[in-house]
Chains A and B, each alone.
Chain A
């Protein structure tokens, strides 16, 4: 009978498409929203319903349009619909499963649209009924779990993940989504892991799975024990963690690639001299097209993995030669490429492409390199809110990495040298460096380069104080590691020194405007203490004895900045005011720098006088420095090599809350109705059934 019905419906629809004739399914929806039990007259009502093509818009709008009192009346029917949806998931008939999944999507969304203000409990009651909610959700999660883990259709799995994403993002604030409490009890963590560990399923669903995981981890993170956090922190299965890393790797690579293409497009016809000015505008323009937002979710996932799971750190260094993908078993390309999420799935084509050519020009890279490149792009422009958030998250991730012993070990590994082409903002006063000339160095050099780059390029009116603090702290953590392990990194420290001095200069010249918003003394203290690290512990980590001389040279050369800084902090600390304490700390920190300046300046002047030279060459100054060390006494300062470990709570909690909210909105927008469109699915299953 249902067959006949279906045929008739199809015929009608195609033959008289212009008339606003109601579809059969719409009529059935109407029946559900009537008072009576739809199955009363037609015992096979539910069976038939799931054979119909779902009309998501109609169902959702119907749910939204229901007003307060009506809810009470139709609640039983909706509960029944939910119940039957869950049951239909267990059906062998795949079309029924598909339709049930989509109906569930519509239910979750519709009910939440309607009841934005309602409490979570009301929503649960409306959907499932309080008494049965626990059982219903348990059934639902179990069914989803078995669908995800089974060897059924890939499109079906993708739909399952979409349903879950839909469920997770129905509220703006994930922690207010009370239904998720059941997702906490009935964990689908293992299913997510399984998707990530398997090469072929990772290629197709990895992105959704990682996003879902990132969101679930953030459910009531600070208030309750979230089992996903606990579970994520103890995963130690390498293929799974690797899989997760691969998904992030691919997503970021794809973004980097797109950015590079855009950049090249925009800069193609210009002379390099012109581009420095014009290119700036164009890049800003190009960036807008490349939404950073979509990557926030992936970045969050990377953060959670790095922050929570100590085994994940190894994945960062895990090199992925192109053949890693090629080595995977040739997976049949999915017959129905339902774009997962529509959130610009990271190079699906790249992931499913079984044989990538051995490109000799392609550098071997690892997740960390890709991440650094990505960060260099994102950090270029922090004006827009999303970019600022992304940049902040990037720096937080780097902070976690810099604190990790193992990560530090491979960052400094002398045998693992890489060329990392960081993106540099084109600026008027500097030439765009030729990419090719970057030497192959340990990865930590790239991190330091990135930090220096950030410091140099963000001295602006709208001063990103928070980012600066993180940036300087990352450098400090790396230095602490080098000091402790006595690693003499061959890095051109001079660049860092001059960047830091310029930063101090900027703080000084914009004192009044900055002080209105920020505690600049905190940053100044950190910067001065970096210098103190070099001055007092330079012997443990500087690469050559010359570099120590150069440090003194740089300080003496820029003594004006330090002098001014000292005057400023001295002034502020003698006045009474909110900055008194902070400023006086800086005065104390400056003691050695001032000692150096006061010691060497007269010596240099007298050297010039004695030798009748007006302008001393660098070599001459260095000579004076070298010969006058012994009469200089420095004061040892406390705790230079100590730092505060990163902790998410309570400092960063607000940031992450907002971030998750914005990600939720974005994901919800992208799990749009049309991505759930079933045409392709139906095509796939019509041959099966």
Chain B
């Protein structure tokens, strides 16, 4: 938007923006505007002009202006003048028509809040308003664009398909008006288009990306990672000069600091010698930029308020950062650099998080060199314990849904996952939820053992008991811990009744007295117990304990994953020094190093899309898309599915058939618990059967299918989808995996549940078919890198003939070389699987065929057998 906006406004309402800048510049302190010429504007217009300037310089694209002009022309043709008002990202623009003085006000808010939501509703509203004014003159296309129906999915689709630079530019601007989350979903598509399509598309997308990067660190990093990942398959020489690489560099160089922060930092630098400026310019920029009420007109007050707020904010930062960590010399990166942010000012905005990710990846790389699972696990634990020393810091898990700071990695809980040669691992991460991870202060480090009972010399006086008492209690029961010492013997007597509960829960005193021995201490009568009772209690308690998996050094993750999530959270919280904080949360993440997750991301998007389609159509299919974070073409993170273990682990540990396992876990076939679990199983089976069919998900051995505590199955590992299959052995020819064991859980092939399963599949397919475009679009755009972008042709031969590097074999031609796009018919085949031409009756037949085929499929069994032989997966 920033690129386009000034141009547009100059054509239509020339008076508008100049007047804004004119009116604001005297009040907005002259020194700051030139000083921030490289991209830290305070006024409305500077940011826009400035970004394009800076970007232009960096990317060496001279025709940016040309493109802009072109888009402008087309736009003008396509729509009326007023439109550009809503295109503009600034909610201020409409208001600026009315008066000049209030212009400063929204500015301040923006500069200070960086409220990401703000521009969107404003511009949409103004667009509507304008639309109502003169709808007749708009073209049909524009009417569509401005209609309520026009959503992000359509926008992406038009951006991809339209060859009109003007339309592309318009959509580029229109992106600003969509909620961030909606656009974020299509970020891989946007960036892939940016990298692999022609410049018009790139130029249309860039302003939006740059704008969002300025607003958010996490968006910046996501972009940088995706850009890196999607550029990686390009030929090395092309890659170096490609747009994607340049934008990535720009982001990582941290040029795209939010205007607000920059301004604040400038102010910090300026404060000592700027009182003259502020006093001469009335409602000075300082006060304004810091969100102080602009009505405070007195120089003195605004000045002092500003300084107060500055010192406050900087002080807060300083105190928040851990002084100890800062001072320690061993500390190399994250937290200390974070705390230095304010003093030094070099590009450190992104550093802590990048370092954090880097160290996680480093661990993965080192683990891969170790031969056994056991060594890997030990190494992982020790590496993580070192990592802990650098936490808390301004780092976060990108897979989480809320803002937080990572405070601790409970290192002993981490496990290495099953993988033959790579070393993916699962870590749990303790975080503290916060308002905004960019601005909230980083929590202070609490030493590991802070929750322990006290023992050292220095703590004795703090116990709050007199020496007499202590001496007394020492004599009475010499081995009570400090906490107990505080209780007199009477207290213990009183507490007796409640003790059993306390007893089991509290683990904080070392020499906790037993109920029994106290009783006997008090009443000198001998107490008798039956040996049978002890033995019985022992077996009862053992039986009571929830079914756990046995520890297996070769499969360390099984135990960790089997433990119910709630239970784990409680346990880790108890053992954590941060556990008492109300904002404490536990997250988990799988770190993958050496694996390409781009296909997983694509699958996630498709799954997510289908899920929302089914939700929208009210089809009770159940699927669980898990979040994927692509960090590069060979690393990333995955959000683990909690409370789920793989079918392989289930079978290996329980040695039961799936149905028997269901009976063991959920109860008899007629109980509600079992029926619930069965329904969950059927709904998820139907969902995943459809997905496996539509996406042609292969490599469906039991290690890749999870079973959660509610009975849902969840397919993981979408490494082989669409056109690729493992080793091309020709196994798994069936549409999806449906073993007789699955059918048994559903109550057999004649049961109601099985019919329900088939009915669900039919409903799901019909619903998916209805919104087929939303699914296809995701896949198609990601195919972009495979085809060369210049002519945007979809035939490979054509591309090859146009490519100057003819010596490259086909598979090395620039673009993302996802194996799922192998061959030329991927998209066509995918489209065909939606069977647009069939009637519902025909579809039903098709489903029946698919199900029958899968059930009877020999290859499924063969494949499982093959996996058992080669990888030991049951």
Contacts and interface: CB of A to CB of B under 8 A. Distances in A.
A238 B389 CA distance: 8
Interface residues of A, number: 83
B467 to A, nearest CB: 16
A483 B381 contact: no
B226 to A, nearest CB: 30
Interface stretch (A117-125, A268-276, A356-364, A579-587): A356-364
A25 B246 CA distance: 71
A309 B511 CA distance: 20
B413 A197 contact: no
A410 B456 CA distance: 20
Contact of B532 (A317, A417, A632, A638): A632
A189 to B, nearest CB: 14
Interface string B323-343: 010001111000000000000
- Output the residue of B366, B517, B535 with the most chain A CB within 10 A: B535
A413 B412 contact: yes
A502 interface: no
A535 B381 CA distance: 36
Interface in A619-657: 629-645
Contacts of A281: none
Contacts of B514: 483-484, 537, 640-641
A536 B529 contact: yes
A594 interface: no
Contact of A644 (B371, B458, B479, B542): B479
Given A239-B389, A319-B381, A634-B529, A229 B457 contact: yes
Given A309-B456, A484-B507, A632-B531, A642 B447 contact: no
Contacts of A419: 374
Interface in B399-440: 412-413, 415
Given A416-B412, A548-B538, A641 B513 contact: yes
Interface stretch (B282-290, B519-527, B700-708): B519-527
Contacts of B374: 417, 419, 440
Contact of B542 (A230, A309, A535, A544): A544
Nearest to B448: A314
Nearest to A441: B551
B545 to A, nearest CB: 9
Contact of B378 (A363, A413, A631, A642): A363
B382 A319 contact: yes
A404 interface: yes
Nearest to B373: A440
Nearest to B541: A539
Contact of A405 (B385, B453, B526, B538): B453
Which residue, B382, B453, B527, B530, has most C-beta atoms of chain A within 10 A?
A: B382
B528 interface: yes
A353 interface: no
Contacts of A148: none
A47 interface: no
Contacts of B477: 642
B381 A536 contact: no
Interface string A426-441: 0000000000000110
Nearest to A541: B538
B447 A238 contact: yes
B378 A630 contact: no
A233 B528 CA distance: 45
Interface stretch (A251-259, A320-328, A459-467): A320-328
B456 A644 contact: no
A404 B521 CA distance: 25
Interface residues of B, number: 67
A416 B378 CA distance: 7
B134 interface: no
Contact of A360 (B375, B377, B553): B375
B508 interface: yes
B479 A642 contact: yes
B535 A548 contact: yes
Contact of B382 (A237, A366, A538): A366
A90 B520 CA distance: 70
B873 to A, nearest CB: 23
Nearest to B330: A239
Contact of B455 (A239, A310, A415): A310
Contacts of A233: 456-458
Contacts of B507: 484-485
A264 interface: no
B512 interface: yes
A564 B385 CA distance: 52
Interface in A527-573: 535-539, 542, 544-545, 548-549
B563 to A, nearest CB: 11
A405 B509 CA distance: 7
Contacts of B510: 403-405, 408, 480-481, 484
Contact of B447 (A236, A404, A416, A644): A236
A484 B512 contact: yes
Contacts of A629: 530-532, 535
B57 interface: no
A409 interface: yes
Given A197-B330, A310-B449, A629-B535, A323 B478 contact: no
A396 interface: no
B452 A406 contact: yes
A308 interface: yes
A389 B551 CA distance: 39
Interface in B484-511: 504, 507-511
A549 B379 CA distance: 38
B369 interface: yes
B468 interface: no
A91 interface: no
Given A233-B456, A308-B457, A406-B452, A358 B513 contact: no
A242 B330 CA distance: 11
Given A198-B329, A308-B456, A409 B575 contact: yes
Nearest to B369: A358
Interface string A297-311: 000000000001111
A485 B840 CA distance: 62
A369 to B, nearest CB: 10
A117 B542 CA distance: 68
Interface string A233-254: 1101111001000000000000
A535 B528 CA distance: 13
Given A318-B385, A364-B378, A634 B412 contact: no
A323 B366 contact: yes
B136 interface: no
Contact of B527 (A439, A480, A485, A636): A636
Contacts of B553: 417, 439-440
Chain B CB within 10 A, most for which of A320, A544, A645? A645
B312 interface: no
Nearest to B507: A485
B510 to A, nearest CB: 5
Interface in A196-250: 197-199, 229-230, 233-234, 236-239, 242
A486 interface: yes
10 smallest beta-carbon distances between A and B, as pairs: A319-B382, A630-B532, A629-B532, A539-B538, A545-B539, A636-B527, A632-B531, A539-B537, A364-B378, A415-B412
Given A237-B328, A320-B382, 7 more contacts: A318-B385, A363-B378, A409-B575, A535-B531, A549-B535, A634-B530, A636-B526
27 contacts: A199-B330, A234-B456, A236-B447, A237-B328, A238-B447, A238-B448, A239-B330, A308-B457, A313-B449, A314-B448, A358-B369, A360-B375, A405-B508, A405-B510, A409-B575, A410-B412, A415-B413, A480-B511, A484-B510, A545-B535, A548-B534, A629-B530, A634-B530, A634-B534, A635-B529, A641-B511, A645-B478
Interface of B: 324, 328-331, 366, 369-371, 374-375, 377-379, 381-383, 385-386, 389, 412-413, 415, 447-449, 452-458, 477-479, 504, 507-514, 516-517, 520-521, 526-532, 534-535, 537-539, 541-542, 551, 553, 560, 575
